[in-house]
Amino acid sequence: MESCRLSDGRVAVRRDQDEIAACPNRGAELGVYLERPAVDTESETAVAHMTNPDPLNLVVVDDDEEVRTALRRLLRALGHKVRVFASAEEYEATPVEADCLIVDLRLPGLNGFELMERLRLRGSSTPIVFITGDGGPSPNDPTIHAGTPSLAKPFDEHDLIAAITRALSATHERAR
């Protein structure tokens, strides 16, 4: 930590990541410097990757029509093929081949977890991304450890793409 008097009369203390500048009779100024997370650049890359001409077959299961429509619109704009369903039962009634499922946790009837369990029991290993409207899955949820990514609404497109990528690669890992 170093302390110095600045030319304008202020006293400044500087450590690695924060700065305090005090000016007699004028109050103090506090600055904090944080490391920029590397996530952004990764997801930019991911988005760039997702817009490549290698389209995915995606399925969205959400009971909220607005969210469902918006996700279909976005993912199609990104170049993917999207099928949407309003409930787990509706999806199960017409199962479609998908590279990844994007499933709302809170659904009428079977919820997101239950849908996943049933798929796994039937031997399906389709990657899944959970989306949820009330602040993320509960901490004692075992699926977090099972490597199923979850996103709290509202979420950024970068986070969605990153989650899909993670889910795909996790499944890929397991398959190997």
Partner 1 sequence: MPAPANRQLAVRLAVSRALGRTRDLNGVYNAALETLAECLNVSRASVLLFDADGVMRFRAYRGLSVQYRIAVEGHSPWTPDSVDAEPILVPDVSREPTLERYLPVFTRERIVALAFIPLVSLGRVIGKFMLYYDAPHAFDSEEIQLASVIAASVAFAVERGKADDVARRSGALAGSEQSAVPGGIARNDSALWQTEAFQAGQRQVLELIATGAPLAQVLTLLVHIVEDQSEGVCSVLLLDTDGVHVRVGAAPSFPDEYSERIDGQPLGPHVGSNGTAMHVGQPIIDTDIVCHCDSQWDVLREAAVAIGLRACWSTPILSPHKKLLGSFATYCGTPRGPSHEELRLLETAADLAGVAIDHHQSQEALRQSEERNRAILRAIPDWMFVMSSDGVYLDYHVKNPEALLAPPEAFLGKSMREFLPSWLADDYDRAFERALATNEPELLEYSLEEHHERRFYEARIVRADSDRLLCIVRDITDRKRAELDAAAQRHELAHLNRVMILAEQSGALAHELSQPLAAILTNAQAARRLLDQSPLDLAELRAALDDVIKNDKRAGTVIHRLRELLKKSNAVLQPVDLNEVTREVLDLTHSDLLLRRMPIKTSLSPVIPPVLGDRVQLQQVILNLVLNACDAMSAIEPAEREITLTTVVDDGFVEIAVADRGVGIPDDLLDSVFEPFVTHRAQGLGLGLTISRSIVLAHRGRIQAENNADRGATFRCFLPVANGQV
Which of the ranges 4-12, 75-83, 85-93, 141-149 carries the binding residues for partner 1, by CB under 8 A? 75-83
Which of the ranges 11-19, 81-89, 115-123, 151-159 carries the binding residues for partner 1, by CB under 8 A? 151-159
The residue among 60, 65, 95, 88 whose CA lies nearest residue 76 is 60
Q: Which two tokens stand for residue 12?
A: 């400044």
At a CB cut-off of 8 Å and minimum separation 6, what does 134 contact? 106, 152
Sole binder of partner 1 in the list 33, 146, 156, 169 (CB under 8 A): 156
For residue 162, what is the enclosing H or E element? helix 157-175
- Give the 3-state secondary structure of residue 157: helix
Q: Which two tokens stand for residue 76?
A: 């199609």
Binders of partner 1: how many residues, by CB under 8 A? 25
Sole binder of partner 1 in the list 152, 166, 170, 171 (CB under 8 A): 152
Binding mask 90-129 for partner 1 (x = CB under 8 A): ----------------xxx---------------------
- Give the 3-state secondary structure of residue 68: helix
Report the interface residues with partner 1, using CB under 8 A: 63-64, 66-67, 69-71, 73-74, 76-78, 106-108, 131, 133-135, 152-157
